[in-house]
Structure 1
């Protein structure tokens, strides 16, 4: 991958020095995984930072026999940075929802890069604050109706990773169980609300291609309470 394509794909590197990008690409490793494959196991956190070149993954929390989806990440995002920064063990793993292409940079080399490039360091802090704000907004919706909470989940995914087309904003066709976990509502409520949104013409699902078209993002955004 060329440095400019790398910069355009990953917002994290929008203000990084060209030398930083060249070096990171030179020391990165490439990975490909099919859907439903474990990308990062719970005992491997802290070894590297991973950058999503294509595809979708879910971050899961493991507690005994229970599995709970904490986050859905798409193209242009990254994960593994927090385990490097706080050096704590993780009871989570990362699973490929779709076929995935990744780049990884070892923990030691990534930390070195943060020390050398203050612009990259600052940009990472900005993106981590953005994630925190999105999480805080989810907590603010805790007592709102399930439809409002689910609309927020869909709008956030669209804003972060959606691809605008004439048919609507495209995101991955995320399983209802994962949407329910993210939204903190039941899977049955998720199924019912998604059916209603489909009937309203606000979204369409292409099960063959595993795509979800948010055909009326304006109304979904209003329902979600976003400004």
Structure 2
């Protein structure tokens, strides 16, 4: 373990970085944030004695938040292997228990992002610069990689793949995930499309277990089979809230549309 110094404003790690260390705050304050809708959302502020960075190592997943020193801060760094050894082999339940707790905390963060998404502006296709699909679980990361993929054509259908290699199949029109014997993901589960009035939306394709978009449940039994997408991060789950088929659908707004809005606000 080594002691490191961070000045106010220094970034300790960024969202999407690979986890290599666990951090203990000896003195100072650290902000926890996540990008949503092109803006930074503060989730918490940590102080002396608190630990962070353990979740990514326990779950072996990319950093889900950005950590920044709010003032001059002293931090102890613990190497990944040293941290994992602290669980010990004499208690086989300890590490799985912590993985479960970390997964629940990650789900709570997703709900916070989803709640804020409900208050953001609906995305219009003509004002959209790009759409990216990112993994939000170990299973989807193993299928599409931590960098995800860019959606270039609509509609874009996401579903299951029953045959062939134990990997996904990606085309310009869709993503087929290898699901093995798991039948909770339909062959055409949901699709990303343009609605009648030009807005971007997700449509559940009459799936057995439905689709959740920013905490809004879509299914064959619901009144509405579609949910609008907003600019920034959209949390999309194929199936129930416990489903491993989880994605972050990021809609990027065109610079021209941002400039137009800024001028309109300035003239108001």
When the two structures are superposed, what TM-score results if normalisation uses the length of structure 2? 0.34
Q: Which has the higher strand share?
A: 2
Q: Which has the larger radius of gyration?
A: 2
Q: Which has the higher helix share?
A: 1
Q: Which has the higher contact order (CA 8 A, sep 6+)?
A: 1
